[in-house]
Amino acid sequence: MEMWGRTVISTRATVKDMRRSNRSVLLSKIYLDGPLSRQELTQLTSLSAASVSTLVAEFLEEGLVEEAGSVESDGGRPRVLLRVAPGFSNVIGVDVGETRVTVELFDMSMAALAKADYPIERASLTPEMMIRHVLDGINAVQAQAPLDSEASILGIGIAVPGVVDQGEDGLVHAQSLGWGEGVALRAMLREGTKIPIHIDNGAKTLGQAEMWFGAGRGAQHAVIALVGSGVGASVVAGGASYRGARSSAGEWGHTTIVYGGRLCRCGARGCLEAYVGAEGILDRYREANRGRAAEGVDEESALASILAEAEDGSSKAAETVLTETAGYLGAGIATLVNLFNPERIILGGWAGLALGGRRLAEIRAAAAEHALRRPFEQVSIELCQLGPDAVALGAATLPVAQLLAEGGGTRRHITHPVRPRPGIAGRER
């Protein structure tokens, strides 16, 4: 009898799971590749025309999906196109950077509706200060939102520069922010807002944005290689982000490029980041330039001046350092090619875009020199399309990704008023 009982329960569970999985497949297709007609959806998924029709009717009823015009079909009636309704809900994306905290409000189509920026001194951001900026930002962007935007907030995605343990405790280990211990950010934020919170590493969120809306579209196996002050990568295998046992996979910047080499911020020697991260490039330039630092008020303008000096031929030090940088970067990319056999490597981050914009051919040549021939022939090396500021947008994809995975969910999304409620952010002070 017990056996029968079990069978019945698991059959019920299977039917429910199947429904959810079908909804997820269909909704993801409409979101990522829409607008699409019912006929195209049937062709592009493994679902029958009847299932597509039933599920689309449900989505329309729930307000998740809307009609977006129609196209002529051969001889038949015009086909109605469907898309995820931009106004179904709004999402908030937060970029916790090393120099600023940015909070942005988007609709479901990722059109930006409002933005709040909080500059910070490098390495001075405490977890408490970050929480205050995030909560202030949440209120600020909701207050700025257009009056006709009465949508609820589906969730908040937060991108942090560090390892986010996706285990139960969800601790954030942000060595570059000077946070010694793992910080329970989610629990701390929950005291100030009831909106669902998702936290992930900044490289992974930017990677997801490029995969959905940028240079990664259509690829199943890709690595988004990000070079800024820090160096990281987002590895996508079989269409999903590769995370490892506790989500720290992708710390490409701390793979060894020179045994016993330059000291890295992580404490080890010879890491890739110590050579191609912005600080590493500027340090190497100063050494090559007999102790004189590059001109510029910040890392970004200093790197720009080195690139300009090399281009107009006015500085031998600049040329030497950038040639070497392209070599180190190419060798680092070759490691990614050999390890993951990706179809695409997408180079981004502000320094990655600055270097790639001027010296991509050199970087490709260095990668070719260091990679195995066969996997190198199968990969293309391209630049990110969304720009270095897409981290907040990437963070905002986190709650959307959950909605897609749940097929829209059985529970209706929780409604949060768009107007700030008094006392939400004020609590901390």
- Describe the crossing of helices 391-405 and 2-33 by its angle, rounded to 10 degrees: 140
Which residue, 209 or 231, is less far from Zn ion as judged by CB? 231
- Describe the crossing of helices 202-213 and 391-405 by its angle, rounded to 10 degrees: 70
In this structure, what DSSP letter does residue 257 have?
A: S
The CA distances from residue 131 to 126, 304, 392, 426, in Å, are 9, 33, 16, 12
Taking the complex as a whole, how short is the minimal distance between the CB of residue 273 and Zn ion, in angstroms?
Answer: 5
Which residue, 104 or 251, is less far from Zn ion as judged by CB? 251
Taking the complex as a whole, how short is the minimal distance between the CB of residue 264 and Zn ion, in angstroms?
Answer: 3
Which residue, 271 or 367, is less far from Zn ion as judged by CB? 271
Which residue, 33 or 279, is less far from Zn ion as judged by CB? 279
Which token pair is 138?
Answer: 């949440």
Which token pair is 272?
Answer: 């890739």
Taking the complex as a whole, how short is the minimal distance between the CB of residue 225 and Zn ion, in angstroms?
Answer: 16
Taking the complex as a whole, how short is the minimal distance between the CB of residue 230 and Zn ion, in angstroms?
Answer: 9
Find, among 84, 134, 140, 95, the residue nearest to 113 by Cα: 140
Length of the chain: 429
Taking the complex as a whole, how short is the minimal distance between the CB of residue 245 and Zn ion, in angstroms?
Answer: 20
In this structure, what DSSP letter does residue 327 have?
A: H
Q: Which helix (H) or strand (E) holds 88?
A: none
Taking the complex as a whole, how short is the minimal distance between the CB of residue 200 and Zn ion, in angstroms?
Answer: 21
Find, among 394, 398, 396, the residue nearest to 232 by Cα: 394
Taking the complex as a whole, how short is the minimal distance between the CB of residue 384 and Zn ion, in angstroms?
Answer: 23
Taking the complex as a whole, how short is the minimal distance between the CB of residue 175 and Zn ion, in angstroms?
Answer: 9
Which residue, 91 or 231, is less far from Zn ion as judged by CB? 231
Q: Beta strands of 29-139 (E only): which ranges?
A: 36-37, 65-71, 79-84, 90-96, 100-107, 112-119
Q: Which residues bind Zn ion (CB under 5 A)?
A: 254, 264, 266, 268, 271
3-state class of 371 per DSSP?
Answer: coil
Taking the complex as a whole, how short is the minimal distance between the CB of residue 136 and Zn ion, in angstroms?
Answer: 33
Number of other CB atoms surrounding residue 172 within 10 Å: 27
Which residue, 273 or 309, is less far from Zn ion as judged by CB? 273
Which residue, 332 or 394, is less far from Zn ion as judged by CB? 332
Which residue, 270 or 375, is less far from Zn ion as judged by CB? 270
Q: Cβ distance 331 to 370 under 8 Å?
A: yes
The CA distances from residue 166 to 163, 170, 261, 288, 398, in Å, are 9, 5, 32, 42, 13
**Nearby residues of 273 by Cβ (< 8 Å), 6 or more positions away:** 230, 231, 253, 254, 264, 265, 266, 280
Which residue, 273 or 382, is less far from Zn ion as judged by CB? 273
The CA distances from residue 391 to 82, 131, 228, in Å, are 28, 18, 12
| 35 prior amide bond cis, ω within 30 | yes
Taking the complex as a whole, how short is the minimal distance between the CB of residue 178 and Zn ion, in angstroms?
Answer: 15
Q: How far apart are CA 166 and CA 269, in angstroms?
A: 28
Which residue, 268 or 288, is less far from Zn ion as judged by CB? 268
Q: Which helix (H) or strand (E) holds 310?
A: helix 299-311
Taking the complex as a whole, how short is the minimal distance between the CB of residue 345 and Zn ion, in angstroms?
Answer: 21
Which residue, 333 or 390, is less far from Zn ion as judged by CB? 333
